[in-house]
Each structure stands twice: as structure tokens, then as C-alpha cells.
Structure 1
């Protein structure tokens, strides 16, 4: 009975008319709350984002724990397996740290991401919200949906492997495994580091963010979801841990989106003039100005908490055409 009810719920939520109806209602509510916040200096929009974020998080059920334990015993030859949810901001997958004893009697740690039908559904709604915002702002940027959980997990695997081939620091991928009919797990190297949201951001770390994006963009790769929790710092270098799907025809816009998201994310913890100064070491003034045209979409990210004064500072430095030209990136 429970399985049938769950199936009916997914059928309704996947219905194209229902999807657009919910997206339009949520989008309208978001716009209204943003206007109210701007007039009365309240935080209703952030509260709404937090409620949606928390409500959509998944958990490690007893069944999932059993499936993961079976997988790591069979494929990775682990014993005495323990697992815990990873920290940070997540809601489109279930990140799990798996620890156990290997054949050599030494402790082994792996990072796993469980992706299921709920992940695909949440990704679909998020994608439509972003595309709606992009259309409203005339950004000409189109995010793509995933067909199913298998497509979603394989895309993330392939993106990480492609980045690694291009010299970008990413976790090593060990494999994709099916846990049951609709659940998959991406197993990766566990990186002993902290997300940038938990790290004091030095000039060197900020430079690494822009240098990493520059390398990715030069190789025709984009990130698509730049935020502090999607970069880990292991004490020496940054590690990229996530990517989103976008239409290939929009590559320049995608790179602009990466850049403005990086500027906004870093500006949460670093003064805006310093962020722009360090960005200019790797990206031209023209690129920074162009990226500012997408700031409206970047500000709608649920994981971004940027005060209005910092938004104004970014727009003042990068937006108006009549400002003094920004210097070019260092060669």
C-alpha cells in the first residue's frame, strides 16, 4: 500500500502540467517574498528557501544502510563497516562517508553519493526554476534535466572523470553501483578536507577558485553549481566535488554563470573589492562585466546568503558600462 501511494505521488509530481504549476506557484511566492524583504528589510525569502531545503533532504534509512553495507562488503571487501551523512549543504543527493577495514587490515574511507528518483525529481524542479529565472532575465542560458537516476549519476561520474583528465583536482571515481531498481551510488575517493564555507578564506584560496574555473573553462568544461560547499580545501589545494548539466550551445553563458556565482559565493566571506581584484588575475574585465549580467539568476540560489550591500557593491564594480574599464587578466 505504501509503495503504491509513493508511486502515485511520483506520478503526480512528474506530470508536466503539475511540475509547471508548482514551479510557477513557488516562483511567484519567491518573487513576492523578495519584494517584501526589500521593502521591510525582512528575511522571509531566506526562511522560505531554508524550509524548502530542509524539507527536501533525504536520510539514511535502515534499508539504505543495509544496501550500502552489502555493496561495500561485496565490491570493496570491507569489514566492520560504519557510515554517516557528510556535512555541508546538500539536497539533490545523499552524501555518505563509508568507513571500514580492508583486506590489508587497514582502515579505508570512501565518499559515496546516493542518487534516486527523488534526486531526479528535485533536480527537475530546480532546473525549471532556474530556466524560468533565466528566461525572465533574458539570460539565454538553459539548464538540462536528467532522464532518470541512472542518467544523473552517470553524468556526474563522467564529469568528474573528464575534469580529472584535464588536470582539475577532483576525487578519484571508483565506480557507479545500482543499489536497487531506482537507487544508484557513486563511489569516490574520500578527501580529508573542509568545504570552503567552514574555512577562513585567504587570498591564496580565493585565487585557487578562480584559477580552477579558468582551467575548466579553457578545457571547455563548466561547473554549473559554484558555491562554497562544492569546493573542499585539504590544506594544500581545492577539490571540485559537483557539477550540473547544461546545453553545450550555451557554453559561454555557462562560464559567465560560473564566474558570477564564484564572485557572489566568495563575497559572503571576503570583501567585494578584494574578490574582484583576485578574479582579475585570471579573468578579463570584459568577462567579469559580462558575468554580472547573470547576477539575478545567481542570487536565486538557495545556498547563497549575500547581504544587499554586497550585491550593490558587486553591481557597482562590474555592472554599469560608464564606469572606468577594469584591467585585463594577468597573462
Structure 2
């Protein structure tokens, strides 16, 4: 836990007060109520403001950790036989602005994402303000039957992103929200344009792994095939060993590869 806290870093109260004060001022309010979340988040300090906005505070330490994560993921991509496609931006403000842009682009193509409100800098901190979705649940919170009911929707969303030249880059259960029985996607990252084909296959591999561990390999592959041709699913197979290294995916890689190969033949 001490190592984790060191890597994540902390934000002293006076700087968080400055963030809250700036959020209030930029929205014409004299004061706001802040609730801090007990979230296991490596890349920001999250808080809820006035039950209306979800705010992420990004520190220089968070930016350093993001660079380390990006380097590790690119090594994993190399191990899957492709050039690294994950991209790092160098400052806390750039990280906030990048997520703001990703949410804006997703909403522009008709996908559900929390409405981006603002991105700015305060005392060297990057601040991202998004619409707060009350009473949402992540995929991790859903019963397996509910996950299965959203399986086809997940691949439809992913396919729409990919058709519009967008890749997620960090698809996992906690980045998939269900609100008012609709699927929302959050925390999309940046990938290099020249590596888009690899990022697309990686996204699909992550989605297959996420579903296979909940509803089974056959059901996951069948849902993917509703939105993607066999060739795309086969390309995703090459990234499954890389995905299996991530602690947030716990699936039977051999079973999933076998089901993909069965469908392909």
C-alpha cells in the first residue's frame, strides 16, 4: 500500500481547495460542495462537486505514472507482434484535455459518454470536469446475466468508435458504465494514428476478454461476430496473451482462442 500511495501521489488540501474554488468561479457559483471518492485510481484524484460534476485532478506525479504505464503497454504490444501504439502526453493539463477531447468526439458520433464540461489548469494541476452520472453501475457491478444483455451493445459501440477512427485503448469493466440501462464508455486514452489497426485489434481483444470471463467464450465471440467480421476477431486473438497479463482481466485464454479458431473455420 505504501508503494501504491507513493506512485499515485497525494494532493495537499490547499491545492484541492484551489481546484474547487476555480470550478465554482468558472461556473458562476460562490461556493460548491465537494465529496471525495475512495477510488483506486492511479492517474487522478476524483471528486464529485455539487452532485453535478465529476472532477478529476491530475498531478505531475500522475503524469509520470501514466508515462510508465504507457511504456509498459507498448512493450506488451511489441510482444504481440506489432509496433507500440499507446501515446503519452507530457503534462497534467494535456492529460485532462485529451480525455475531454475523447468524450467530446464520442458524443459527436452518437455514443454515450459523460458530457465534458471543462478542462483547465490550476497551480500545475490538470483539472477535467465531466457531467456526473448518479447511480451508475460499472460492468464489474453487474450480475453476469446483465452483462450478457449488454454484450451486443458493447461491440456495437466499439465498432462505431472504430469506424469513426477512434480507439479506446483501456477497455475494461470499470470503464464501462450502465446508466438508465444504457451503456456509457469512459476513460478513453490516446493511441498513435499510425498504430490504429493494432489499437483496434487490442480493443476488440479486451472486450472479448472482459465478456468471456463473465458469460463464457462462446457467447463472447458470438456477440463480437454480430459487429465484426471473422478477420477482425482473428486479429484480436493475437493480443489475448498481452491482455491476459493485465490484472483486471481474468479469463481462460486457451478457451477463448479455441472458440475464435472454431468460428474462423
TM over 0.5, shorter chain: yes
How many residue pairs match? The answer is 261
In structure 1, the partner of 2:80 is 137
| 1:138-196 Cα shifts (integer Å, max 9, x gaps) | 2233211212112221111111111111111111111112121x201100100121111
Q: Does 1:325 align with 2:264?
A: yes
In structure 2, the partner of 1:148 is 91
Distance 1:52 1:244 in 2: 25
Q: RCO higher in 1 or 2 (8 Å CA, sep ≥ 6)?
A: 2
| C-alpha spacing 1:236/1:312, structure 2 compared with 1 (3 Å) | same
How far does residue 290 in structure 1 lie from its aligned partner after superposition? 0.8
How far does residue 224 in structure 1 lie from its aligned partner after superposition? 0.5
Residue of structure 2 aligned with 1:73, choices 9, 24, 34 = 24
In structure 2, the partner of 1:119 is 62
In structure 2, the partner of 1:312 is 254
How far does residue 52 in structure 1 lie from its aligned partner after superposition? 6.4
Residue of structure 2 aligned with 1:83, choices 35, 38, 46 = 35
Q: Does 1:246 align with 2:191?
A: yes
| C-alpha spacing 1:313/1:160, structure 2 compared with 1 (3 Å) | same
Q: Is the 8 A contact 2:94 2:126 kept in 1?
A: no
Q: Is the 8 A contact 2:205 2:237 kept in 1?
A: yes
Q: Is the 8 A contact 2:206 2:243 kept in 1?
A: yes
How far does residue 86 in structure 1 lie from its aligned partner after superposition? 5.8
| C-alpha spacing 1:206/1:82, structure 2 compared with 1 (3 Å) | same
Which SS does the other structure have where 1:268 is aligned?
helix
Q: Is the 8 A contact 1:206 1:278 kept in 2?
A: yes
Distance 1:191 1:248 in 2: 31
Q: Does 1:296 align with 2:238?
A: no
Q: Is the 8 A contact 1:127 1:145 kept in 2?
A: yes
Which stretch of the first structure deviates more once superposed, 162-171 or 262-271? 262-271
Alignment of 1:148-297 (within 5 A): 148-180=91-123, 182-192=124-134, 193-201=136-144, 202=146, 203-297=148-242
Distance 2:113 2:55 in 1: 14
Distance 2:163 2:4 in 1: 33
Q: Is the 8 A contact 1:60 1:85 kept in 2?
A: no
Distance 1:262 1:211 in 2: 11
Q: Is the 8 A contact 1:72 1:78 kept in 2?
A: no
Aligned structure 1 segments of 4 or more residues deviating by more than 6 angstroms = none
How far does residue 94 in structure 1 lie from its aligned partner after superposition? 1.8
Which SS does the other structure have where 1:143 is aligned?
coil
How far does residue 60 in structure 1 lie from its aligned partner after superposition? 5.6
Over aligned residues, Cα RMSD in angstroms? 2.1
Q: Is the 8 A contact 2:167 2:190 kept in 1?
A: no
Which stretch of the first structure deviates more once superposed, 263-272 or 241-250? 263-272
Q: Is the 8 A contact 1:139 1:293 kept in 2?
A: no
| C-alpha spacing 1:283/1:78, structure 2 compared with 1 (3 Å) | farther
**TM-score normalised by length of structure 1:** 0.73
Distance 1:324 1:195 in 2: 29
Greater Rg over alpha carbons, structure? 1
Which SS does the other structure have where 2:161 is aligned?
helix
Structure 2: 5+ residue runs without aligned partners?
none
